[in-house]
Structure 1
Amino acid sequence: MGTAGFFGRRRGATWGLALLLAAGGAGAAEHGSEREAQEMVKKAVALVHAAGTEAAYRSFNEHPDGAFKDRDLYVFVYDFGGTCLAQGANARMVGKNLLAIRDVDGKPFIQGMIDMVKASSKGWYGPYKFTNPNSQGYELKKSYCERGAGDTMVCVGTYLAK
């Protein structure tokens, strides 16, 4: 075996190891944490109050600076009647009334979040099953919500580790 064959295999093994390490590291950070979800909601509510709903909701939907979309974390906003006002993973949901939507187990999670925010103005709701926009599969999720402007809630959900 010549030196080219040795270095070729060695380089391949090194690259393979580097790819495995990178994949392992990426998998570990695939999901946002509860702390990160809570911090994103606090920043989102602050933006609603500072910039107004129109500018804030546009930022949540389009996330031009990336502040309101990170991995599987994104902001969503509903009014207390169940109408989606902003949705960072799927802007096509904006304007739709989803009060009656249920997860695959029949849990009315939008109504549940609204009820929780009405009762205590902020907190965690869940778990419920929802489609992860990264994996496209149903996963257990819980969401941190706070009262937004008027009768609205601003939320960010985090998918639970399997």
Structure 2
Amino acid sequence: MIKSKIAVLLITGLSMAGSTTAFAADRGSADEATAMLDKAVAHYQSAGADTALADFSATDKGWQDRDLYVFCFDDAGVTVAHGANAKLIGRDLSGLKDADGKEFVMELVSTGKSGGGWVDYRWPNPVSKKIEPKSSVVKSAGDHICGVGIYK
């Protein structure tokens, strides 16, 4: 009887570990976001701004992976590319606030212009459709600031 309870606990624990791994695999990691951003900046530099920005926003060019996608702003906070929501392109998001009231877009722009780094905020996850904590890594690409974020 004790052996059967131990077996049940082990099987339950292993199946939970497997589902955690599957859940983690549905989300991009910080390393994957950084790698995607580096690849995007290299594409921007080699293909030019117009081609790269269009590619980042297209759903068939390979710039989306699970919940990872490339987005770019100009210096004023106007969206020039967005891999998860093309309706944002051309919109001035400089005063946009997240679910907690944080004006994060200009922080993304400022961080990107000052050498790059990570910015935390809350944003709708395109996979889960829920507002979730997000961290985005950003850096300059030509005249724009591009980023890729991870959901936590």
Q: What TM bracket, shorter-length normalisation?
A: 0.7 to 0.9
Residue 155 (str. 1) matches residue 147 (str. 2)? yes
**Matched residue SS, 1:41:** helix
In the alignment, the residues of structure 2 paired with residue 61 and residue 21 of structure 1 have an alpha-carbon distance, to the nearest angstrom, of 35
In structure 1, give the amino acid aligned to 2:106: Q
**How many pairs are equivalent?**
138
Deviation at 1:75, TM superposition (A): 0.1
Deviation at residue 140 of structure 1 after TM alignment: 0.3
Give the alignment's TM-score, normalised by structure 1.
0.79
The aligned counterpart of 1:80 is 75
Give the equivalent residue in structure 2 for 1:41: 37
Could you tell me which residue of structure 1 aligns to residue 118 of structure 2?
124
Which consecutive unaligned segments of at least 5 residues does structure 2 have? Answer: 1-15
Aligned to 2:22: 26
Is contact 2:28–2:67 with CA below 8 Å preserved after alignment? yes
Structure 1, residues 76-133: CA drift from partner, whole Å, max 9, x if none?
0000101100000001110111100000111011011112122x2211111x110001
RMSD over aligned Cα, in angstroms?
1.8
Identity of aligned residues (%): 38
Shift in alpha-carbon separation, 1:65–1:114, aligned structure 2, 3 A: closer
Q: Normalising to structure 2: TM-score of the pair?
A: 0.84
Q: Name structure 1 gaps, 5 residues minimum.
A: 1-19
